[in-house]
Amino acid sequence: MSQSLKLAIAALAPDVDAVFVFLGDMPLIPPDVPAALAEALTQDVAAAAPMFGGELGHPVLIGAPLFPELRRLEGDRGARRLLEALGPRLARVAAPHRGVLFDVDTRAALAEAQRLGAQTAEAR
């Protein structure tokens, strides 16, 4: 995971202010979450992540001042430790449902995602 982040950061144009990190196995991200994260990123906030049930979720929005630290990441955890170490410099944005935590790694999870996705679409 850290290798993917490092490659992505290396490919960015120098004037990019922030980058969203979406995970491909998380199909139920509420559509209003990215805008809420962007709104939360300020001069005093280095990154923003959605929260649901007391847990940090995805996607995350990471500001350019953290790019050098992303380039030094190692291992499979990605930027989680970096984000957790930010303290008040990490905006924790309340998410409307658990889609920010839900990933699809099994056939059962895929069936659950389809069921939850249908419920979410009906609720709109």
What is the per-residue pLDDT across 29-68, written as a single tens digit (0 to 9) for each?
999 999 999 999 998 999 999 999 999 999 999 999 999 9
Report the percent of the chain where pLDDT is more than 90.
56
Statement: residue 18 has pLDDT above 70: yes
Statement: residue 121 has pLDDT above 60: no
CATH code, domain with 34 = 3.90.550.10
Helix residue ranges, H only, 13-106: 33-40, 67-71, 80-84
CB 116 within 8 A of CB 37: no
Statement: residue 90 has pLDDT above 80: yes
Task: Tell me what the mean pLDDT of segment 9-13 comes to.
Answer: 93
- pLDDT tens digits along 98-120: 889 988 888 888 888 788 776 66
| pTM: predicted TM-score of the whole model, two decimal places | 0.86
CB 80 within 8 A of CB 86: no
pLDDT value of residue 19: 96
CA pair distance 82, 96, nearest whole angstrom: 25
Domain count, the chain: 1
* Host domain of residue 112: 2-123
